Amino acid sequence: MRIQVLGPLSAEVNGMSIVPTAGKPRQLLALLAFHPGRVVPVPTLMEEIWGSNSPQSAMTTLQTYILQLRRRLGTAMGPDTPGAAKEVLATRHGGYLLQIPRDAVDVHRYEELVTAGRGAFDRGEDVRASSLFGEALAMWQGSALVDVRLGPVLDIEVMRLEESRLVTVERRIDADLRCGRHTEVLAELTDLIMRHPQHEGLHSQAMVALYRSGRQATALDVYRRLRLRLVEELGVEPSPQMQRLHRAMLTVDPALDVLSGPRGLSTFDLYAA
């Protein structure tokens, strides 16, 4: 079985999709996929499907959804494996679990690559870190579970993943900047700061990439526009890190050079206190 949640929900066995068309069974499959090999308690499954207003028939209905998933699983596994679907989607005391390897679900492979990338980044292995982060990000096929209705449990999982995705993009760009790829990331950063107009980390990266590309005036203008937006919309000044980065560009601080500063340090933290 292969399951993908980093984009539209996909689950295949022997090349056949087992994703239900009905919304609630899709939610169950997605939630179980986040916890392969682990029991997901019945109350958690019910909370995902019905929130805090479970009907009296919730347990019976939940069992019906599980049966529907098993039927689809059994059809894909074929007639030569009777009973196998019940072993893969197993009933345990207090809940259900998918008995599949963690790496059968894309999100777990993604998280392994991100962890490896962070380790390489912290060791100053910038080329390897960029490669690992890039491989992790390439696994995304759109917004997580974009075609699944999200209940309260899956909503938290998806928010966590989307935040992880943005942080991973930042760290990959940090590694690229340390590798001297400032001109290569300019177009991407221009798009990112437009989509995240109050994100200081991305703005700091855009400023550094522009500065190293010989565009000091444009880098300073990025700061000016960010400051104006923060003051007008939130009533706050840019953080001390951003203010120190701005002053460093005005004074042509050597720490802004590609190979200056401690290894494994993010662009945003170059001028942390």
Categorize the per-residue pLDDT at 261 as very low, low, confident or very high, splitting at 50, 70 and 90.
Answer: low
| Residue pair 54/95 in contact by the 8 Å Cβ criterion | no
Q: Which residues contact 144 (CB under 8 A, 6 or more apart)?
A: 5, 6, 7, 107, 157, 158, 161, 162
Distance CA 256, CA 271 (A): 10
Categorize the per-residue pLDDT at 263 as very low, low, confident or very high, splitting at 50, 70 and 90.
Answer: low
Facing residues of 122 across strands? Answer: none
- Burial profile 80-112: b = 16 or more Cβ within 10 angstroms, e = fewer: eeeeebeebbeeeeebbbbebeeebbbbbbbbe
Residue 83 has pLDDT above 90, yes or no: no
The more confidently predicted of residues 262 and 39 is 39
| 32-69 pLDDT per residue, tens | 999 999 999 999 999 999 998 888 899 999 999 999 99
Distance CA 46, CA 161 (A): 22
Facing residues of 3 across strands? Answer: 11, 105
Distance CA 24, CA 58 (A): 12
Distance CA 133, CA 233 (A): 33
Query: What's the predicted TM-score (pTM) here?
Result: 0.90
